[in-house]
Amino acid sequence: MTVAWYGHLKFKGAALWTAILASWLLALPEYIFQVPANRLGYGPLSAYQLKILQECITLVVFMVFAWVALGEKLQIRHALSFLLILGAVVIGFKK
């Protein structure tokens, strides 16, 4: 999803309809895997925990993508924000 949502930012010259079509083609396989993953995970994990985990994974993937694909440097305030979110994940999974 990260590439689908943000990959087009490197190609600002491309038509918007091209970016939308490419995004959907990239996102579809993820949806195909996400639905069964949520069905398998629901039960051992609550719906809240599934969402918390998904958001945490998305942030980690985004950090790498922004650095590698977009060439953005991670600033201390962003790193601290991500650490606070990671702390929220720990709280969400605490028994």
Compute the C-alpha angle 85/87/92, nearest 5°: 95
- Quick one: pLDDT at residue 88? 87
At residue 1, the pLDDT reads 65
Mean pLDDT split into 10-residue runs, the chain, 95 residues: 75 86 86 90 93 88 90 93 90 88
pLDDT of residue 95: 82
CB 52, CB 93: distance < 8 Å = yes
Written as six digits, the tokens of 11 are 């190609």
Query: Tell me, what's the pLDDT at 56?
Result: 87
- Predicted pLDDT of residue 40: 94
The full set of domain ranges for the chain reads: 2-93
Q: What span, in angstroms and rounded, lies between the C-alpha atoms of 27 and 2?
A: 9
pLDDT at 42: 96
